[in-house]
Structure 1
């Protein structure tokens, strides 16, 4: 750093905070370390009694934190992500759309392993809203060697973008509810309205709901009916426990669908089932979905509506973070449930 007259400091970078004191009214920072001095700042410096100040002397191959943050954000931002001009050295990344945040986790880890690089984000596979903040990029020191930024750029050139938000697709969906107690009007169906509300969030084309008796062949028949109407997703409710007369898992299996999982390491939602009947997704939803605001269904639906094909491994790794605390005020997805 070097000491220069404030009149000659325009365009240079302040290397220490400048404090302002107004007796009885204010004491605090008037200019922050790292501030790029503008012409209109000169009079203010003089009013503060600063005729000379210390500024940074940039060296060849060094990049200021603001420029570095912009370069990093531009390098890592993929589909449907925008980023802001840096504030205090940090560029904030936001989603342009309502969708699901996808992260190349190993690439993010490798970039954050570079000394003095800091990229923080929400967990991947979470649903996000249009304009929502999803992460921030910055460097730790006021200046950083450009070679480190080039290393990030080369990594992304080879391996792709770190962050992306995937749009929801237009999908047709139906609901099948089984149980003699509902079919024979002994009790009112509680599943249907809840499932329909969740589908409405994704603007699904709703094909309808059918209530079936406890009859495996009848459930299969309705599955094929909705498949024939072009259903991309069929949600089956009722009969998902281990009781002998709970027929939904058997109906799904006997339809010829390829079962991805029956049972998941997630609570609430252990008895969840997922299968693919050709291009149609079949979901067996346990009774907990009637009682809890957030279950495994809320974790899986966003990924289905971006067209992602889930595997057994996707569910196995949900065990870490898959225990919901059933908070009095649910903060999902702003928590680590099923991350």
Structure 2
């Protein structure tokens, strides 16, 4: 139960919710905290932030205050890879507790947001995030809501746990096969290797060796097997992925025993991507665009593998919606629609 009280008559009363002060371009934050006892000196400041009246709220057992609701929703929805903020103005934020792959149960999220008064907002699923990064937030819309609605959220979360989680990246020893007679013979310098090393290091993995081969399929097959024998957890083949007659990498991966998940991806850049498996070892054929585009199929597919997920053909084909890079003058990936 709640009622309005003029601020002049509220001296000595306890605020039942946080109050926000906004100075455009300078400040937005909490001016008065829930539980604050209003003094005579507070009245002018309350009026300065537009408060002519305040709520006096009396809750019964059938209603939940916004702060308690936010904590309960966040606790129910968050996985082991999430740390929760303090509740502030009814809102709780979710932060990644480690580097990894953000995973959102999108279907369950839709169901929760369909419950009246309840909101959970997240970043897009299946993107790489850093430790401490904010990835979601939750609150209720009114100052208080029915207990039954919060219980329904908790039940949905229990059935679909977790709603928001960050899967840690596993460390992979990566073997690289760089194909191309022009690189093998030294006519041009390899530019792909340094890019691949940097990308894998950013994801917590290590390139243990790089083999250079010509456009000869037998050499490529031998290089793949050599890296497998050396203990590589993943093989990445760079170059030779187009339809040119000299580009034999896809055929070489097959000849090495690769069981192909997909050759081709509905992403630009990255259409000529190949994913295969030799036993339990993923083998990737990376097109040249990975070398010079900040965001490409590499950034959509590889983090999922490093997080221990099985990447299926359906996972790849679903990337078509959002898989067209806008080639912005300044790339801000992943703060953009690519892959989402």
TM-score of the superposed pair, with normalisation by structure 1: 0.89
**Residue 46 of structure 1: CA displacement?**
5.2
Per-residue deviation at 1:8?
4.4
Contact 1:14 1:56 in 2 (8 A): no
**Structure 1 residues 290 and 68: CA distance shift in structure 2, 3 A:** same
Alpha-carbon distance change, 47 to 329 in structure 1, aligned in 2, over 3 angstroms: closer
Matching residue of 1:78: 79
CA distance in 2, matches of 1:155, 1:190: 49
Separation in 2, partners of 1:31, 1:222: 65
Does the 8 A contact of 1:223 with 1:234 survive in 2?
yes
Structure 2 gap segments, 5+ residues each: 23-27
The answer to whether the Cα contact below 8 Å between 2:80 and 2:166 also exists between their aligned partners in 1 is yes
Q: Is the Cα–Cα contact under 8 Å of residues 30 and 89 in structure 2 kept in the other structure? A: no
Match of 1:131, SS? coil
Match of 2:10 in 1: 6
Q: State how far apart, in whole Å, the 1-side matches of 2:115 and 2:243 are.
A: 50
Instruction: Give CA deviations for 1:146-204 in whole Å, capped at 9, x if unaligned.
Output: 11000010111222110100111111101101111111111111111111111111232
Q: Distance in 2 between matches of 1:196 and 1:320?
A: 29
Please point out which of 27, 34, 37 is paired with 1:36: 34
- Report SS of the residue matched to 2:189: coil
Structure 2 match to 1:64: 65
- Number of equivalenced pairs: 326
Partner of 2:266: 265
Distance in 1, matches of 2:86 and 2:18, equals 21
Unaligned runs of 5+ in 1: 20-27
Contact 1:173 1:206 in 2 (8 A): yes
Match of 1:23 in 2: none
1:109 equivalent in structure 2: 110
Secondary structure of 1:67 counterpart = helix
**Structure 1 residue 282 and structure 2 residue 286: aligned?**
no
Change in CA separation of 1:137 and 1:189 when aligned onto 2, cut-off 3 Å? same
SS at match of 1:42: coil
Residue matched to 1:185: 186
Deviations 1:219-239 (A, max 9, x none): 111111111112111110111
Q: Deviations over 1:271-329 (max 9, x none)?
A: 01011111111110111122211111111121111111100000111011101111121
1:45 to 38, 42, 58: 42
Q: Who is 2:120 aligned against?
A: 119
- Cα deviation, 1:62-94, whole Å, max 9, x if unaligned, reads 112122111111110102201112222221111
Equivalent residues of 1:6, 1:45 under 8 A apart:
no
- CA–CA distance in 1 between the matches of 2:73 and 2:29? 28
**2:12 & 2:84 partners in 1: Cα distance?**
33
Q: 1:43–1:204: structure 2 CA closer, same or farther, 3 Å change rule? A: same
Query: How far apart in 2 are the matches of 1:129 and 1:254?
Result: 38
- Check conservation: 1:259, 1:274, Cα contact below 8 A: yes
RMSD: 2.5
List aligned pairs for 1:1-339, cutoff 5 A: 1=3, 3=5, 5-10=9-14, 12-13=15-16, 36-39=34-37, 41-45=38-42, 54-60=54-60, 61-339=62-340
8 Å Cα contact 2:12-2:39 kept in structure 1? no
